[in-house]
Structure 1
Amino acid sequence: MAKVFPDTPGVDDPGLGRRLGLDVGTVRIGVAVSDRDARLATPVATVPRETGLKDPDKGDIDRLLSIIAEYGIVEIVVGLPRDLQGNGSASVKHAKEIAFRLKRRLNKPFATDPTPPSPAPVVRMGDERLTTVVATTALRASGVSDKKGRSVIDQAAAVEILQSWLDGRAAALGS
C-alpha cells in the first residue's frame, strides 16, 4: 500500500481543552481522553465496532459522539495504522472511515445527535505505529494476562496514540 501521512501535532491547534484518542479496529474501538490541560491521556472505553465500511452510521458512532459531548472534546486524534516504512496497512480504510463519519456528524449534527461543543472538534489522523505492541508490553509488565488484556488492549493503544499526540503537541507549542 502507498505511503500515508499523519497530521502534525500543534498545527492549527484548537487551544486548551480535552482531546480524544481512538484506536480503530474492525471489531473494537479503543477510546482515551486527555485532561483539560492536554498533558495526560487516560483510558475511557472500548466501543464495540458496529458500522461497516458501507453501512449507515450505527450505535458505535452514536456512542463516540456521546463521549465527545460528555467530555467537551476540542480535538479528536484517530490512529493512522502504518508500518515502520510509513506505508498504510489494510486498516487505514477503517480509521479514515471513522474519522470521516465523526467529522461529518460533528459538522452537520442531526436532531438525534448530542449537542456538539462549539465549535465542532477538529478531527486529526495521528501516527499509531507500534502502539499496540507498546500497549501489550505495558499490560504484560503490569501483570495483566493476555486473555484479560484483550478487553482493555484497545483502550491502552488509544492511550498510546493520544499520549504520543499530546507529547508532540507540547513540543511543537513549546509548553
Structure 2
Amino acid sequence: MVQDNKSPNPKELTDIKDAPGKGRLMCVDPGTRKIGVAVSDEMQMTVRPVELIVRRSWKNLLEKIVELIARYDARALVVGLPLGFEGGETEMSAEARDMARKFDLSLEIPVYLHDERLSTYTARGHLWKTGKEGDELRERLDAESAAVILSDFIETRNMIASRDA
C-alpha cells in the first residue's frame, strides 16, 4: 500500500512510523522529463544524490529503479509529492501518485509519498553554495532535490517516533 505523508487530506495520512528505521532508503523526485534519485546510508544518518534518470517509458524507469534498489539494497522507496504552495493538489501531484501506485504494484519494498514543497528551491541553494551554476546546476538539481525530500522524510519519521516514545 502506498503510504502518503503530509497529505492535505487527513483521510489519506498514513503513519510513517512503519517506515524502516535502519537500512537504506531511496527517494525519487519525479519530473516530466527527468527523475532525480537519492539514497540514504544504512543508519539513515546521511543522504546523497546518486542518479538522474531521463524518463523514456514506464518500463525503462521501472527497470532502472529496480536496478538501483538492488545496487543500494534499499528497504523502502519514497516518492516526492509535488503539492501546491498552499498544500493543494496539482497536475504533477496526480502523476506522482500514479507513479507511486505503479511502483507499489511492481516492487517488493514499501513505497511512501512525501510532500516535496520547496525541495527544488532548497536544493538549488545547496548547489549554489558549492559553486554550481548553469548546466552543472541543472544536471544535479533533480537528484539534489531527491536528497532534500529524503532528508525531510527521515527527519519527519524520527520526530514522530521520538514524540510517541
State the TM-score bracket (shorter-chain normalisation): 0.7 to 0.9
Matches within 5 A, 1:4-153: 10-51=16-57, 57-106=58-107, 120-153=108-141
- Tell me how far apart the structure 2 counterparts of residues 147 and 4 of structure 1 sit (CA, whole Å): 38
Letter in structure 1 aligned against 2:142: D
Q: Following superposition, which runs of at least 4 residues in structure 1 exceed 2 angstroms of deviation?
A: 3-11
Deviation by residue 1:14-37 (Cα, 9 ceiling, x = unmatched): 342110111000001100000111
Query: C-alpha displacement at 1:4, in angstroms?
Result: 5.5
Letter in structure 2 aligned against 1:86: G
Given that 2:76 and 2:111 are in contact with CA atoms closer than 8 Å, whether structure 1 keeps it comes out as yes
Could you list the runs of 5+ residues in structure 2 that have no partner in the other structure? 1-7
- Tell me how far apart the structure 1 counterparts of residues 34 and 13 of structure 2 sit (CA, whole Å): 23
Deviation by residue 1:125-164 (Cα, 9 ceiling, x = unmatched): 0010000011112211211013211111000100000000
Deviation by residue 1:36-65 (Cα, 9 ceiling, x = unmatched): 1122111110011112xxxxx321211011
Could you list the runs of 5+ residues in structure 1 that have no partner in the other structure? 52-56, 107-119
The 1:67/1:143 distance shift into structure 2, 3 A limit, reads same
SS in 2 for 1:151: helix
Greater helix proportion: 2
TM-score (norm 2): 0.85
- Tell me how far apart the structure 1 counterparts of residues 13 and 67 of structure 2 sit (CA, whole Å): 24
Query: What's the % identity of the aligned pairs?
Result: 30
- Tell me how far apart the structure 2 counterparts of residues 95 and 4 of structure 1 sit (CA, whole Å): 16
The 1:9/1:30 distance shift into structure 2, 3 A limit, reads farther
Query: C-alpha displacement at 1:82, in angstroms?
Result: 0.8
- Partner residue in 1 for 2:3: none
> Once superposed, what is the RMSD of the aligned Cα atoms?
1.9
Q: How many residues align?
A: 155
